[in-house]
Structure 1
Amino acid sequence: MIRAWAAHEAGGKLTPFEYDPGPLPDDEVEIAVETCGLCHSDMSLVDDEWNISAYPLVPGHEIVGRIVEAGPAVKHLKVGDRVGVGWFAHSCLGCHTCMSGQHNLCADATGVASAKKGRFGGFAERVRAQGAWAIPIPDGVDAAKAGPLFCGGLTVFYPFVHYGIRPTDRVGIIGIGGLGHMALKFARAWGCEVTAFTSSPGKEEEAKSLGAHRVVNSRDKDALKAERGRFDMVLSTVNVPLEWARYVQALAPDGRLNFVGAATEPMGLAPIALMGGQAQLSATSVGTPAIAATMLEFCARHGIAPQTEHMKMSQINEAFDHLREGKARYRIVLENDFA
C-alpha cells in the first residue's frame, strides 16, 4: 500500500489516504518521493476547475525522488537514480506524435495525478511513472529545490526552445509569480533583453533581481502604449483576463504572444488586430522529456533554481491555504515526512 494525501471532493481538504498500486508495469519505475512542489494547477485539480478531476484525487506533479523499482523494459534508469517527474507520467511512445518527439502532445498522454486513469500524484510516499517521463537530475542542480522545475520551470522554458527564441530577441514576461519568476531567470540567461510586466509596482526591484532589465507597470495604459512594436515574444504566465490587444500591439513584426498561464476567459481579439504586424498567438504545453533534460542542463550551467519555501508534506493543507492567499514566494516545496 502507498500512503498519500488525497482530496475526496471538489474543493475539499486533503486527508490521509492509502491505495494499492498493483504490479509495476514493465515500462514504469516506482519512485520514493523526497519532495513535491505545490503548483497552482494542483488547486485547479482539487477544485475541479477544469472539469477533468475524479476523486479520491492525490495531486502533486513536481516530484523529486529516488527510484526503488524499475520494470524490465526500463533500460536507461536503475534503482537508486534520483529523478524528477512533472505533469505527465505516460504517453504511448508509438504514435506519430511521440515518434516525432512531441510526447507531451500525445493523444494518450496521461497526467501523473490523473485519478480517472488510475494514477495518483506526488503528495505521497511513492509514485509511479513511465521510465521515459522520469528525468535524471544532473550534478549542479539542487535536488531540494528542483521539484518546481518539472512543471513551472519546463512550462516557461519550452517556448524558448520550441519557437527558436534568439539571444538577440526582446522578450516580455507577464506576471511575476510561480511561473513568471522562473521565466525571468531563463530569459536573462538565454541572452535576451528581458522586460517584466507587473501590476505590482513594489515588485520592480525584485523583478530586476530575478533577471529583468526593464519593468513596466501593466496597470499604466500609457506605459503599455509606449512599448508598441518592441517584443519578439511576450510570454503570459497569468491565469486572469487582461487587455490582450495592448500586448499584441507591443509585438514587433512577426512577434508572438504565447500563453502558458491557464486563463479560461475568452480573449476578445478580432483577427484584424493581428494582421498589420503578422502577430502570432500561441499556447504551449509543459514540454517533452528531452527538453526537460535540456532544461536541467541549462539550469546547472547557469546556476538557475526556483525561489522556494519549504514545508512538511503533513502541512499540506496549510500549504494550500498559503498558496490560495497569494502569499507563496514563489514556489512551495513539500518534503516527504511519512513516518
Structure 2
Amino acid sequence: MNLKTYAATSVGSSLEFKSIDAEPNGTTDIVIKVTHCGICHSDVHMIDNDWGMSQYPLVPGHEVVGEVVEVGGAISHLKAGDRVGVGWQRSACLECDECVSGNENMCDQTKSVIGDGFGGFADHLIVDGRFAFPLPDGVESRFAGPLMCGGITVYSALRHAGMIGGQRVGVVGIGGLGHMAVKFASALGNEVVAFTTSPDKAEEAASYGASSAVNVREEGALENYQGKPLDLIVSTVPKALQVELYLNLLKSDGTMSFVGVPDEPLSVPLFPMLVKRRRIMSSPIGGRAEIRDMLRVSDQCGVAPVIEEFAMADVNTAMQKVRDNSVRYRAVLVN
C-alpha cells in the first residue's frame, strides 16, 4: 500500500510530504487509519540521529491513535473498526524469558515503531497487531496518543518504584512527563510533592493534584525542606540533579527513579543510600499488560494529558514548538 507521510530525509531535516510503499505481512500486522499522533522528544532525537540508530527517510510518530482498517490472519483480539493506540514498541520475539514474564519492552529483539518501520506522521500505520491496544471508551482519541509513550513511561516508573496508594510521592519536573506523573500518582490516592524551577508550573501542579510544590531555584529549598519523608521520587527532567539532596528527602527503603535522561553523568554519593537503605533506579516504557492497566486507570480516574493540537499539515510548526520546549505540555497532530 502507499503511505502518505511526513518524513525526515536526512539528519536534522524538516519534514517533507513523501509517499512511501509498504505492505503488511498478512499474519500479525494490522493497518491503522491514523486520526491522531502525539509528538514526543524521542521523535526529535530520532530525526537528529542522536542515538545513532536512525534510518532515512524517517517517518516519526510513536504515539499513534486511529481506526483499524485491516487485520492479519493471526490477530484475533482486534477487528476492523476498532479504535486503538500504539506506543514506542513495534514488536518483540514473545518467546524469551523477558517476554514470557511480561517484560516485552525489555526483549533483546524488540523493534520500535519509528526505528524499524514508518511511524504515525502519516495517513496510515502498519504495525504488529499484538502491540496495538483497544482504547477504553472514556479515553478520548486526542488525549490517548501521549498516554501511549509519555503516559506509560511515568506510570511504569511509579509502579516499579513501589507506588501503590496512600504514599508520599515526589515528582521532579512539571513538563510533558512530569504533569502526567502528578496526575497518575494523585489519582491513585497519593500525596504528591512537585519539584519545579517555575513558579507558574508550581501553581499548575496543584490543579493536577499535587498537594504542595517546591521551587528548587529558591536558595536552600531542598536543604530546608520541611515536608514528611517521601516514599519515592520520580525525576522526569533531562538535566543533571544534585542527587544527594533528593535522596535525603526519601524515607528508609525509599526509591528514586529516573525517566528523564540527564545530559551528563550523575554523581551519586553512597552514604545517603547506605544509612537509610535507599535505592536509585531507572525505568523505560512498560510491557503490554502494564499498558492495558495504565489505560484502565486513565479511563476510570479521568487521567488525561494537557495538550496542544495541530493539523498534520502543520507538523513542522508543531515540531519546532517541541524543540523549543514551548508546548504546554504535549503536542498532538490531527489528521
Instruction: Tell me the residue number matched to 2:134.
Output: 136
Give me the whole-angstrom Cα distance separating, in 1, the residues matched to 2:214 and 2:81.
46
The residue matched to 1:225 in structure 2 has which SS?
coil
Residues 1:330 and 2:332 are matched in the alignment: no
Displacement after TM superposition at 1:221 (Å): 4.4
Give distance in 2, aligned partners of 1:287 and 1:25.
Answer: 27
| Superposition deviation, residue 130 in structure 1 | 1.3
Is the 1:29–1:130 Cα contact (8 Å) retained in structure 2? yes
| Matching residue of 1:239 | 238
How many residue pairs match? The answer is: 333
Partner residue in 2 for 1:71: 72
Q: C-alpha deviations, 1:38-60, integer Å up to 9, x for none? A: 11111111111222222111111
Q: AA paired with 1:233?
A: L
| Residue identity matched to 2:103 | Q
Which residue pairs with 2:315 in the alignment?
Answer: 316
Q: Which moved more, 1:273-282 or 1:149-158?
A: 273-282
Distance in structure 1 (CA, Å) of the matches to 2:99 and 2:162: 20
Deviates more, 1:190-199 or 1:201-210: 201-210
Any conservation in 1 of the 2:34–2:120 contact (CA below 8 Å)? yes
Query: In 2, are the aligned partners of 1:24 and 1:30 still within 8 Å (CA)?
Result: no
Q: Determine the C-alpha separation between the residues in 2 that align with 1:203 and 1:163.
A: 24
Deviation at 1:292, TM superposition (A): 1.0
Matched, 1:112 2:113: yes
CA distance in 1, matches of 2:26, 2:175: 37
Mapping for residues 36-55 of structure 1, pairs under 5 Å:
36-55=37-56
User: Percent of aligned positions with the same letter in both sequences?
Assistant: 43
In structure 2, distance between residues paired with 1:263 and 1:16: 33
Q: Would you say 1:171 and 2:169 are equivalent positions?
A: yes
In the alignment, the residues of structure 2 paired with residue 65 and residue 282 of structure 1 have an alpha-carbon distance, to the nearest angstrom, of 34
Deviates most, 259-268 or 19-28: 19-28
SS at match of 2:220: helix
The amino acid across from 1:182 in the alignment is M
Residues 89 and 128, structure 1, Cα contact 8 Å, conserved in 2:
no
Name the amino acid aligned to 1:245. E
| Residues 23 and 138 of structure 1: CA distance in aligned 2, closer, same or farther (over 3 Å) | closer
Moved more, 262-271 or 56-65: 262-271
Structure 1: unaligned runs, 5 residues or longer = none
Deviations 1:261-317 (A, max 9, x none): 132420011333421111211111111111111111111111111111100011011
Cα distance in structure 2, aligned partners of 1:221 and 1:99: 49
Q: Which residue of 2 aligns with 1:230?
A: 229
Looking at structure 2, the residues matched to 321 and 212 of structure 1 have their Cα atoms a distance apart, in angstroms, of: 30
Contact 1:36-1:335 within 8 A present in 2 as well: yes
List alignment gaps of at least 5 residues for structure 2: none
> Does residue 1:207 correspond to 2:208, yes or no?
no
